[in-house]
Amino acid sequence: MKLRFLSALTVLGILAFLESATFENHQKTPGYDLNSPDFSLVLPDTLREVSGVVCIDSATFACVQDENGIVFIYDFLKNQIKKQYSFNIDGDYEGITRIDKTLYVLRSDGMLYEISDYESPDFKLTSYATGVPARNNEGLCYDADHHRLLIASKGKIGKGPEYKDKRMIYGFDLNTKTLISEPVFDFNLQEIKQFAQKNNIKLPTRTKKHGEEAVAEPVLKFATSAICIHPITKKLYLLSAADHLLFIFDVGGNIEHLEVLNPVKFNKTEGITFLENGDMLVTNEAQDKKPTVLRFNYK
C-alpha cells in the first residue's frame, strides 16, 4: 500500500510539473508565447465538445460543438454563454466563421450552412452541398482578400498511394456559392517533414524495416482540426490536434513555421480565431478534462 501511495504522489507531482513548466520548444510562433496564455478559461460543460470558434468582437465569440445544431454566443470577458441559437438538427458540426451578420457552419461531410442575420429570431438558413471530395472536414475560415471560404479536409481525399502524403484546402466561392474546382492549398507531407528536419523540429518517430535495417521515420498525421487567416500578417494558421502542432503558411501555401504544442495546455485543439488586433484564441475539447479557451495577446 505504501509503495502504491508513493507512486500516485509521484504521478500527481509529474502532472503538476508539466502543467506549470515551460514546454521545451525552440521554434516560437512570431508574436506569441504559446507557453504562457495571457488568460485561460474553463468553458461550461455545455461546450464540452467545442469544435469551432470565430470572434464577433473584442468580448465575444461564436462557437459550435460537435453533435449539436446550435450556435453559442460566448462572452469570454464574463466567461458565460450570452445567447444560443438552434439552427438545425443534430449533426457532426466542426467549423464556424463569420462575415458581418452572416455565420457559416461546416458539417464534417462538407455540407455548409449559411445563417443570414443570425441575431434575428427570423434568421434565414440556407444549406449548400459543397461537393468537397473528402468525407471528413474540420477547418473553416473566411478569406476576405478573395471573398471565399476555405474548407480544410482533415484526412486524405481519396484512396491509394497517390493520396497518402496529400492534404487539401478547398475554396467556396461566395459570389457563385459553389466550390472552386481546384484546391486552393495542396500540402505535401514529405515537404513538411523535410522542413521540420531542416529546422531541428522533433516530430514523433516510428521504426520501420527497410530490408534488414530498422530505420526511425518521422510521424506526421496532419489531421487538420482548425484553420484561420491572421488579420494582420495574412498568414494561414493551421492546427492539427492529433499531432499537437501549429503550422503557419504563406499565401502561396509554403510552410513558414511549425511549432510543437504542449499537450497538457493544448490537449485537443479544435478551434482557432483572431481578434482584429491579432490576439489569438484557441479552444480545446474536454476529453478527460474541462473544455478551455486560451488567449494569446499579439506582441
Alpha-carbon distance 162 to 166, whole Å?
8
177 DSSP 8-state letter = T
pLDDT in tens, 196-255: 999 999 999 988 776 677 788 899 999 999 999 999 999 999 999 999 999 999 999 999
pLDDT tops 50 at residue 157:
yes
CA 245 to chain centre: 10
Look at 15-24, 73-82, 162-171, 196-205 and tell me which has the smallest mean pLDDT: 15-24
Q: How far is CA 196 from CA 119, 216, 244, 245, in A?
A: 44, 15, 14, 11
Alpha-carbon distance 53 to 74, whole Å?
10
CA atoms within 13 A on the CB side of 64: 32
pLDDT for the residue 214: 76
Q: Is residue 190 part of a domain?
A: yes
pLDDT for the residue 156: 84
Q: Give me the chain's average pLDDT, please.
A: 90
Q: Is the pLDDT higher at 289 or at 169?
A: 169
Q: Is residue 25 part of a domain?
A: no
Q: Is residue 261 part of a domain?
A: yes
pLDDT for the residue 124: 96
Task: Give the three-state DSSP class for 115.
Answer: strand
Q: Is residue 41 part of a domain?
A: yes
Decide the pairing of beta strands 185-188 and 205-210: unpaired
Could you identify the residue written with the cell 518521422? 218
Q: Is residue 20 part of a domain?
A: no
Q: Is residue 93 part of a domain?
A: yes
Residue-range definition of the domain harbouring residue 110: 30-296
Give mean pLDDT, residues 181-195: 96
pLDDT for the residue 24: 53
pLDDT for the residue 95: 97
pLDDT in tens, 248-299: 999 999 999 999 999 999 999 999 999 999 999 999 999 778 999 999 999 9
Q: Is residue 15 part of a domain?
A: no
pLDDT in tens, 127-150: 999 999 998 999 999 999 999 999
- Could you tell me the CATH number of the domain that includes residue 74? 2.120.10.30
pLDDT for the residue 55: 98
pLDDT for the residue 25: 52
Could you identify the residue written with the cell 484546402? 169
Please name which of 218, 160, 222, 159 lies closest in space to residue 186, comparing C-alpha atoms. Answer: 222
Q: State in Å, rounded, how far the first CA of the chain is from the last one.
A: 51
Q: Is residue 6 part of a domain?
A: no
Give mean pLDDT, residues 51-58: 97
pLDDT tops 80 at residue 180:
yes
Question: For the chain, what is the domain count?
Answer: 1
Go through 19-53 and write b for each residue having 16 or more CB atoms within 10 A of its CB, e for each that does not.
eeeebeeeeebeebebeebeeebebeeebbbbbbb
